[in-house]
Amino acid sequence: MRVLGIDPGLTRCGMGVVEGTVGRPLTLVDVNVLRTSAQVPVAQRLVTIEKGVEAWIEEHAPDAVAVERVFARSDSSTIMGTAQASGIALVVAARRGLPVALHTPSEVKAAVSGNGRADKAQVGAMITRILRLDAPPKPADAADALALAITHIWRGGAQARIDAALAAAGTGANRTPTRSPR
C-alpha cells in the first residue's frame, strides 16, 4: 500500500509518501513541504496548495491519502489556515476517487511512538527509525506527514476493512440514523 500523508498548513504543508504493509518494513518514497508566502492573498495560497497536492498525487499514485484532523489551538488564525489547507487536500483526493482518512495528532503520535503526547523530537526520532533514515526529516511538518502515512498503513487499513464489513452488514457507523415518529 502506498499512502500520501498530508500535514496541512497554509504556510507549510507537509507531504510524505510511504509504501509498505503491516508487519513488513516500510519504505520512504518521497517527502517535502509545500510552502506559500504570507505576502500572497489566501485564495492564491490555496490554489498553490491545490496544485501541489495534485502534482504529488499524479507523481506518486497513492492508494490512499491520510490527512491530519484539524483540532482547536489557542491561535484561531492558525486553525483557519490549517482547516483551509486540509479542505483543499480532502477535495483534491476525493476528486481523484482516493480513499481519505483523517487521523488526530494524538493518534499519530501514539501509532509511531507509543505515546499520544510525544513531542516533535520524539516523533522525528521514531520516523527516522521506522523508515531507516540517516536523520529526521526537516522541518517537523515533513516528519509529521510521514507519521500520518505510517499511521494509516498500520491502522487505517484495518479500520477500512471494519467499516466495509459494517457497511455490508447494514450496521455501519456512516449510516444515517432514522428518526422514529412521535
Tell me which residues are annotated as active site.
7, 68, 141
Is 7 one of the annotated binding-site residues?
A: yes
**Helical residues (DSSP H) of the chain, grouped into ranges:** 42-60, 76-95, 105-113, 120-130, 140-151, 157-169
| Residue 156 three-state SS | helix
Is 30 one of the annotated binding-site residues?
A: no
Residue type, 53: V
| Residue 8 three-state SS | coil
Instruction: Extract the C-alpha cell encoding 152.
Output: 494509516
Phi, psi of 92 (to 5 degrees): -60, -45
Q: What angle do CA 79, 151, 21 make, to 5 degrees?
A: 150
Distance CA 138, CA 124 (A): 9
* Residue 63, number of CB atoms within 10 A of its CB: 14
Is 144 one of the annotated binding-site residues?
A: no
Taking each helix axis from N to C end, the angle separating 42-60 and 76-95, rounded to the nearest 10 degrees, works out to 40
Handedness of CA 42, 68, 144, 16 (dihedral sign): negative
Q: Give the residue numbers of the binding site for Mg(2+).
A: 7, 68, 141
